[in-house]
Amino acid sequence: MSVLLVAVGAAVGAPLRYLVDRLVQARHESLFPWGTLTVNAIGSALLGFLAGLPADRTVLAALGAGFCGALTTYSTFSYETLRLARDGARFSAAVNIVASLVVGLGAGYLGLTVAQAIGGAR
Amino acid sequence: MTEPLVTPVDSDVDLRVPAERRELRPSPWPVLAAISAGGVVGALSRFGLTEAFPYRPGGFAWATFTINVSGCLLIGALMVLIEQVWTGRRLLRPFLGVGVLGGFTTFSTYVVDIQQTVAASAAGTALLYLAATLTCALVAVWIGTTLTGWAVRRHRANQDRTAAGAT
């Protein structure tokens, strides 16, 4: 059952990463990979939120491992960073590393905090 | 005149590359279906590995570490092959790059692994996992592009030599 839910979540999450990336890129001219940063932040916030809720294996499989896992990406993040560094945009590469870590972790903790606030209010 | 050769910075999609800007026309469905199918393959492989090799609270998340680092090695190799060898295959990058490798690697699990390791009072391990994944992922993508680029050049040089010998 979990396997099927992971598959369904990923079937939606992966194309959504592509579409959000396109949408974000269409709105700015810079070389900086805002699109990937956006999907990684959204996915980290959602997974942080899920991790803060009472554990439900079904939800974690579908939304966590499937949807959030496929929405976010490490391969694109590191490829972009390498390309920026190689293309002479070393500062952008460094900013991409720091921003991805700070924004990703911040988003994750924000999601976790919201989940705990909701859980605590019940 | 042909379009200037722009290679993507963003391996998922880079709108500065004309072919990628146009790839949802006339219909977006082939590309989106390829990404979706690839994403399922990648995510299920990741799920299988993380289920097979769980880590204890406060431990080092080896499965996700290995997934992210190997995915980075492979995207480096794949992008060189797509740009230099397998050119003009419209659904290859969407399926293998955006789908399989994008779905295989994950940033959200990386973030939550760090949080949970900190929460398990193992801040040192969390910091080590954070830094080790980042460093090894960047080195891996560099190795992937460099070795593949070298192999492609070597193969081409050998082909040229053979062709020159034949004439």
Give the dihedral sign, CA B139/B142/B146/B149: positive
Stated length of chain B: 167
A43 chain-B contacts, CB cut-off 8 A: 106-108
B46 chain-A contacts, CB cut-off 8 A: 65, 69
Asked if pLDDT for residue B3 goes beyond 60, the answer is: no
At how many degrees (to 10) do helices A2-25 and A34-52 cross?
140
State the Cα torsion B100-B28-B33-A82 to the nearest 10°. 0
CB contact under 8 A, A75 and B47: no
Report pLDDT digits (tens) over B73-131.
999 999 999 999 999 899 999 999 999 999 999 999 999 999 999 999 999 999 999 99
A92 chain-B contacts, CB cut-off 8 A: none
How close is the nearest chain B Cα to the Cα of A66, in Å?
6
pLDDT at A61: 85
Report pLDDT digits (tens) over A82-115.
999 999 999 999 999 999 999 999 999 999 999 9
Asked if pLDDT for residue B133 goes beyond 60, the answer is: yes
Reply yes or no: is the peptide bond before residue B28 cis, omega within 30 of 0. Answer: no
How close is the nearest chain B Cα to the Cα of A112, in Å?
9
Mean pLDDT by 10 residues, chain A (122 residues): 94 98 94 96 97 86 95 98 95 98 98 90 50
- Measure CB to CB from residue A21 to each of B12, B104, B109 and give the nearest one: B12
Asked if pLDDT for residue B58 goes beyond 60, the answer is: yes
Placement of tokens 């193992």 in the chain:
B122
CB contact under 8 A, A108 and B112: yes
Cα gap B66→B49, rounded to integer Å: 9
pLDDT at B106: 98
How close is the nearest chain A Cα to the Cα of B44, in Å?
7
Tokens of B96: 């293998």
Which of B46, B106, B108, B143 is the best mutation test for A, with the most CBs of A within 10 A? B108
CA distances to B16, B53, B107, B128, B137 from B134, in Å = 27, 21, 11, 10, 5
At how many degrees (to 10) do helices B123-166 and A75-86 cross?
60
B8 chain-A contacts, CB cut-off 8 A: 83
Tokens of B74: 């492979």
A76 chain-B contacts, CB cut-off 8 A: 10-12, 75, 102, 105
Helix or strand (DSSP H, E) at A50: helix A34-52
CB contact under 8 A, A6 and B141: no
Q: What is the mean pLDDT of residues B51-79?
A: 97
pLDDT at B1: 44
**pTM for the structure as a whole:** 0.94
pLDDT at B4: 54
B97 chain-A contacts, CB cut-off 8 A: 75
The whole-chain average pLDDT of chain B stands at 94
ipTM of the complex: 0.95
CB contact under 8 A, A6 and B32: no
